[in-house]
Amino acid sequence: MNLEENNFGVTGQSPSAQEAAFVAGSEFTEAGRKKRSGWRIFWIVFTVLSVLANIFLFLALIGFGAMFVAGQRGIFTEEVLIEGPRTAKIAVVGIEGVIDDRCFEDFSRRLKSAQKDERVKGVIVKINSPGGMVSASDRIYNQIVQYQQQTQKPAVALMEGMAASGGYYTSVACREIIAEPTTITGSIGVIMGHFVLEKLFEEKLGIKPVIIKAGEKKDWPSSFEEPTEEQKEYIQERLIRPAYERFVEVVAEGRESLTIDDVRRLADGSIYGADRALEEKMIDGIGYLDSAVERVLSLAGIEKAQVIEYRRPFSFWSVFGLSGQSLLSIDKASLYELSMPELLYLWRAY
């Protein structure tokens, strides 16, 4: 008889040994299955957490990107210009470029930052501007006046390369005015201009505008026709003269050393260098930042202070000297404003 066909079966093992091996194999398979199931659960949990973490990081990146592109509105960093005790500060608040609504809003936020800080004992209004819009210049002037009245803290103007027309208008709100030796200032006056497109439209392009109005003066002045002498006198009476008189009154009020007649003599639109401006009592001194700091310290009655300047946080647009709003906000209203005559406290030679 063949040994493989005896009682031990074809495998050469007894039935009890086969059962034991089967049970052991089953237990091993079950343990492996449980082990694989545990790893599967681990990887599922790990994957879910990874997805959630990536979603969170993505949203955080979007928020950071938005701040990077636009900059945080109304939030400024403080750059120390002159070291001093942190318990007393002098804040430098700048007016840069053509004065318009955006310039006013930016200046207003910086001045409010200074007003909220109890450690700020006075401000230096640093001006480098040829002027700009009548209303924006007047609002900045009023903000400086209100700051001094509400806080009883001094403001001193520091004119840099240019502080003409609206730039000078804003400076006279301050207690004193310091100009750099190369400053161009003055240009006390008002200007308004617009394009007359009548011949371009009708003769070159064959376009004839149709104006329907109720009221003879409704469209004075118009870009679609040459202004008549009556229209020019009307604009002088209703716009130019009131804005001019306002400028003269503001300068006379802000500069105690000048009478109203003195201001009228100076207010022919002429520009002045620093030496001539000092001679005419339009400013109080010639110097640089340190001179303005000395005047604020004296007026505030303190000996030392840390001098800081409010700066915008870094943003993507700041690399190009632009703001996101200036690129994206070209709408019907903006185009309308560009085509309309505008009353300006602006040195036009700029």
**Please, which residues have CB within 8 angstroms of residue 111's CB and are 6 or more apart in sequence?**
93, 123, 143, 144, 147
Taking the CA atoms of 315, 321, 326 and 327 in sequence, report the sign of the dihedral they define.
negative
Cα gap 329→174, rounded to integer Å: 34
**Please, which residues have CB within 8 angstroms of residue 281's CB and are 6 or more apart in sequence?**
255, 257, 258, 262
Ramachandran category for residue 9: left, alpha or beta (phi over 0 → left; psi -120 to 50 → alpha): left
- Longest Cα separation, the chain: 144
**Which of 89, 121, 126, 165 does the annotation list as catalytic?**
165
**Please, which residues have CB within 8 angstroms of residue 212's CB and are 6 or more apart in sequence?**
none
- Residue in the structure block whose two tokens are 């190009």: 320
- Contact between residue 114 and residue 93 where contact means Cβ atoms under 8 Å apart: yes
What is the CA 257 to chain-centroid distance, rounded? 35
Identity of residue 85: P
What is the CA 58 to chain-centroid distance, rounded? 28
φ, ψ of residue 185 to 5 degrees: the values are: -140, -170
Active site residue 329: no
The rounded radius of gyration (Å) of the Cα atoms in the chain is 38
For helices 241-254 and 134-151, the axis angle rounded to 10 degrees is 30
**Which of 218, 232, 281, 304 does the annotation list as catalytic?**
218
Please, how many CA atoms are within 13 Å of residue 118, restricted to the half-sphere of its CB? 1
* Letter string b/e over residues 82-107, b meaning 16 or more CB atoms within 10 A of that residue's CB: eebeeebbbbbbbbeebbbeebbebb
Active site residue 332: no
> Catalytic positions, please?
165, 218
